[in-house]
Structure 1
Amino acid sequence: MVSLKTIAERCGVSTATVSKALNDHKDISEETKNRVKQTAQTLGYFPNAAARALKTNRSYNIGVLFEEEAGRGLTHEYFSGVLNGLKIQAEKLGYDITFINTCFENRKMSYYEHCRYRNFEGVVIVCANFDDPDVIELMNSEIPVVTIDYVHHNCTAVTSNNIQGMEDLVKYIYSQGHRKIAYIHGQEGSSVTRDRLASFYRTIDELGLEIPDTYVRTADYLETKGAAKQTRELLNLEAPPTCIIYPDDTSLIGGRNVIIEMGLRIPRDISVAGYDGTMISQLLYPKLTTIRQNTEIIGSEAATRLIGTIEKPRTTLVERVVIEGSLVPGQSVGAIQPKE
């Protein structure tokens, strides 16, 4: 590994001069600075991270909290897209990312304690139980925090436009002639669910539809069993819906399996729509009608906002940043003759 001494010998100056030149000290001439920096670049010099942290009291390291209950982890396309966007942008701005955990040397520690131990300069909460006291402690701490799809008074939040997305989806289904639209939504404690559910009811009201309470049900995000159970119950109603909206593209698969088991065909006998716009949604037959969330931009924007807070804390405001999604018409919502 190239050292300061190697650069100093090549340039014919002291190691102290090299250090000052690389750190843009004013008592070093521009000519010397340029010569030292050019030599360092030519030799492939990289500063020692530990030494830099000791000198500057900065780690240039961001913590990522990712606790996903469904057990899909990094294999889930939505979260992997968000994390990839976060990683690329953080690295572009000169930061590393490290996942937060609660165990060290067989000793339990809180998320906040782990962040202090690792000297994280900030944290992005990608997925977590926001009712967990440890998560609340972290969000209320002095450490800069940006949340994904969750709004907290002390943190900037980056969210997909779930309100507009649900409105676009319902209006598209309506345009295909459907008037009996069911909605299986995710966990009620989620801000994502609150936004989508309010938008669903608001859009239904705007369109002049009356949806029975039995058409609106709950199933966990990213989990197929609950969606399968609710689908079976919806289809066994005396007046079943003509279209079912699911919490996400993954949970929709549970409903799709039930539909096939019951000898029904999509979209001829029943139409379905998902949410997220994952790759698998377009690999299924028929291709799903869904809302594609711009996961890479969500992750990138989270990194940008967090690093802005770290580097310019006095000019930072707590904000809600909304990223637009887009309707993917697919083939799973069929056109029918509306019965007004």
Structure 2
Amino acid sequence: MVSLKDVAKRCGVSTATVSKALNGHSDIGEKTRIRIKEAAQEMGYFPNAAARALKTNRSYNLGVLFKEEAGRGLTHEYFSGILNGFKEKAEELGYDITFINNEHVNHKMSYLEHCKYRNFDGVGIVCARFDEPEVQELLQSNIPIVTVDYVYYNCTVVSSNNVKGMNELVRYIYSKGHRKIAYIYGEKHSAVTRDRLTSFFQTMESFNLNVPDDYLKEGEYLDTRLVAKATRELLNLPDPPTCILYPDDTALIGGINVIDEMGLKVPDDISIAGFDGTKVSQMMSPKITTIRQNTRKIGEEAVKRLVQRIEQPKTTLVERVIINGELLVGESVGGI
């Protein structure tokens, strides 16, 4: 196995110079840096992870907490996009990722204990029940943390611009002549739901439109069964809405099934709109009007901010990073 000494001997420099060149130190000239990097690559030199960890006191390993309750796991299109962006950017920056769990060889441990056991440099919380004591314990620890879609006072959060997305969606629906707009929203405890609901009310108010209590139904993200029930209740009202907003494109499928069962057609009899911009929503007929979230960008930004916190702790601010989505005008919202 090629060592740091071998590269130093080949280049006629000290091992310290080789180490600095390979780690991007500014006190090494550009020509020397290029020569050393080329030699290391030709010789097949790879830094020893254990030796690097001892020298830098870092593992170059990031923990990822992903506990998705809907049962979709890594097939969940929104989270899989975020995780893919997270993974690729982490690797680009020289870090590995490991999923956090609370089970280890038949021994239960907390999320924080697992992080300490693995010696993670930092943690990305992509999906979790943030009110759980174990998650709160992790958030309150001294480990650098970035969250996705959850605001906590001592760590950076990266989230989709749910406020702007909902505003654009309602404005488009209004432009098509709709005034009776209902909203089946996700779980109330979610920060995403709170942002979307607030934006929905603000936009409707800006058009001087009243939202009857009957037009608001609580569902759950990705839950087609609950959304189907809520859709039936809305369509059976004495004065039903002309357009229904859904919590996400997957749950929307439950609504479409009910609409079909009742002998109605989209968008001729009832208009609908989703959120997320999944691939399936754009393959359906009619194509769904929705907000596409930039999941890859969310994942990439989460890693960038986390690594900044790890490597530059004294100069990195706690921020709320908002990533804009995109309105996809489909065929599911008809004109009035």
Alpha-carbon distance in 2 for matches of 1:244, 1:253: 12
Residue by residue over 1:274-313, the C-alpha shift from the partner in whole angstroms, topping out at 9 and shown as x without a partner, is: 0011111100100000011111111111111110111100
Identity rate of aligned residues, in percent? Answer: 63
**Structure 1 residue 105, shift from structure 2 partner:** 1.2
Displaced runs of 4 or more, over 3 A: 1-8, 28-38
- Counterpart of 1:310 in structure 2 is 310
Amino acid at match of 2:157: A
Q: How does 1:138-149 map to 2 (within 5 A)?
A: 138-149=138-149
SS at match of 1:125: strand
Give TM-score, length-normalised by structure 1: 0.92
- Counterpart of 2:82 in structure 1 is 82
- Counterpart of 1:136 in structure 2 is 136
Residue by residue over 1:152-177, the C-alpha shift from the partner in whole angstroms, topping out at 9 and shown as x without a partner, is: 11111111111111111111111111
- Counterpart of 1:111 in structure 2 is 111
Shift of the 32–68 alpha-carbon distance from structure 1 to 2, 3 Å rule, reads closer
- Counterpart of 1:153 in structure 2 is 153
Shift of the 181–36 alpha-carbon distance from structure 1 to 2, 3 Å rule, reads closer
Indicate conservation of the 8 Å contact 2:20/2:28, yes or no: no
Shift of the 212–29 alpha-carbon distance from structure 1 to 2, 3 Å rule, reads closer
Indicate conservation of the 8 Å contact 1:11/1:35, yes or no: no
Matched, 1:23 2:19: yes
- Counterpart of 1:240 in structure 2 is 240
Residue by residue over 1:3-52, the C-alpha shift from the partner in whole angstroms, topping out at 9 and shown as x without a partner, is: 446546x7397xxx7643331399x9979887654432201211111221
Residue by residue over 1:157-198, the C-alpha shift from the partner in whole angstroms, topping out at 9 and shown as x without a partner, is: 111111111111111111111111000000000110001001
Give TM-score, length-normalised by structure 2: 0.93
Alpha-carbon distance in 1 for matches of 2:163, 2:34: 53
Alpha-carbon distance in 2 for matches of 1:3, 1:100: 33
Shift of the 53–239 alpha-carbon distance from structure 1 to 2, 3 Å rule, reads same
Alpha-carbon distance in 2 for matches of 1:221, 1:37: 49
RMSD across aligned C-alpha pairs, in angstroms?
Answer: 2.1
Q: How does 1:1-340 map to 2 (within 5 A)?
A: 1-4=1-4, 7=7, 11=10, 19-24=15-20, 37-336=37-336
Alpha-carbon distance in 1 for matches of 2:304, 2:48: 25
Segments of 5+ residues of structure 1 without an aligned counterpart are none
Alpha-carbon distance in 2 for matches of 1:120, 1:183: 41
Indicate conservation of the 8 Å contact 1:273/1:332, yes or no: yes
Alpha-carbon distance in 1 for matches of 2:10, 2:162: 58
